[in-house]
């Protein structure tokens, strides 16, 4: 639906457009993988894992004794980490990842931040990992999982960009699809009723103040057009355990495939 049409319909049929915007937030699109990403997935041991109403695709790349879990972003999937996975294997890691609910090769259906978050906590326990890498929205899911599972202890955590406030996500979707403030407020109310929580409290910069992470680094491109770098900087400023590295020339997605970034991640973990 075109943005100009949505703007008009937001005034005429606010309930209909609220449902439309809600679907944008809860029904992720599945994007086709590149050949090298498929090739890396084909090297993994696969397991289907039952989680609520979903069949979750798990992946294990067996390597050395060190273990790490990779958490993809919204509308991402495990295969997006292919370049990084190959280097982690070379450097003695056994690598675990997954396709989130309604993502990648997992089964499809309406999902949410909270289902994704709950799954992350479960998988950290299942794989018994103490090192993590997340991309984009994966940072929200992971920090909230650690926030709500205070017994989980992580030694090193790499965030390849991270959002901060959930309200910013609502604003981004509102701008993207063209809904007006009336519809946006109805959308917020619907989400809050569903999760029984004030979404203004859902901020990564708050979660990180009390999670058990010994060391972390946030890497973010200064010209990222999907998540402005200011959001990662605010998370860093509220997280005593974090370092921050600003990079240039990768944007939001190429950051996962850039040699400079991959080398920095491997060096940091070492």
Render pLDDT for 160-213 as a digit per residue (tens, 0 to 9).
Answer: 999 999 888 888 877 777 888 888 888 888 888 877 878 888 899 999 999 999
Report yes or no: 87 and 56 within 8 Å, Cβ to Cβ: no
Q: Is residue 185 part of a domain?
A: no
pTM, full prediction = 0.92
For the chain, the domain total comes to 1
Query: For residue 251, is it within any domain?
Result: yes
* Domain with 39 in it: 31-165+203-269
Q: Tokens at residue 121, please? A: 């906590």
Judge whether 195 lies within some domain: no
The span from the CA of 253 to the CA of 34, in Å, is 13
Is the C-alpha dihedral spanning 209, 88, 136, 58 positive or negative? negative
How do residues 76-110 score in pLDDT, each as one tens digit?
Answer: 999 999 999 999 999 999 999 999 999 999 999 88
Q: Could you tell me if 222 and 246 are in contact, meaning their C-beta atoms sit under 8 angstroms apart?
A: yes
User: What pLDDT sits at residue 2?
Assistant: 66
- Is residue 75 one of the residues assigned to a domain? yes
What CATH number corresponds to the domain at position 58?
Answer: 3.40.50.1820
In a domain, 131, yes or no: yes
Domain for residue 187, yes or no?
no
In the chain the beta strands, taken as DSSP E runs, fall at 45-51, 54-61, 66-71, 93-98, 131-135, 154-160, 213-221, 242-247
17 inside domain: no
Query: What confidence score (pLDDT) does residue 9 get?
Result: 65
Query: Do the domain assignments include residue 91?
Result: yes
Closest CA to 269 of 125, 128, 158: 158
């Amino acid at each position: 639906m075109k943005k100009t049409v949505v703007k008009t319909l937001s005034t005429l049929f606010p309930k209909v457009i609220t449902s439309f915007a809600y679907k944008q937030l809860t029904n992720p699109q599945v994007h086709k993988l590149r050949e090298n990403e498929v090739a890396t997935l084909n090297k993994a041991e696969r397991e289907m894992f039952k989680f609520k109403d979903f069949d979750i695709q798990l992946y294990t790349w067996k390597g050395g004794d060190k273990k790490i879990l990779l958490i993809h972003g919204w509308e991402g999937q495990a295969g997006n980490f292919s370049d990084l996975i190959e280097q982690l294997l070379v450097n003695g890691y056994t690598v675990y990842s997954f396709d989130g609910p309604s993502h990648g090769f997992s089964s499809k259906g309406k999902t949410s931040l909270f289902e994704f978050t709950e799954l992350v906590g479960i998988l950290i326990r299942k794989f018994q990992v103490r090192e993590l890498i997340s991309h984009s929205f994966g940072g929200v899911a992971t920090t909230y999982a650690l926030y709500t599972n205070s017994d989980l202890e992580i030694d090193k955590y790499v965030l390849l960009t991270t959002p901060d406030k959930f309200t910013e996500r609502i604003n981004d979707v509102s701008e993207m699809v063209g809904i007006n403030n009336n519809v946006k407020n109805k959308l917020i109310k619907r989400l809050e009723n569903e999760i029984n929580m004030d979404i203004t409290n859902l901020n990564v910069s708050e979660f990180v103040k009390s999670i058990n992470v010994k060391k972390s680094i946030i890497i973010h491109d200064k010209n990222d057009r999907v998540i402005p770098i200011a959001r990662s900087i605010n998370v860093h400023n509220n997280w005593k355990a974090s370092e921050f590295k600003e990079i240039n020339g990768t944007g939001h997605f190429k950051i996962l495939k850039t040699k400079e970034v991959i080398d920095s991640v491997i060096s940091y973990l070492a």
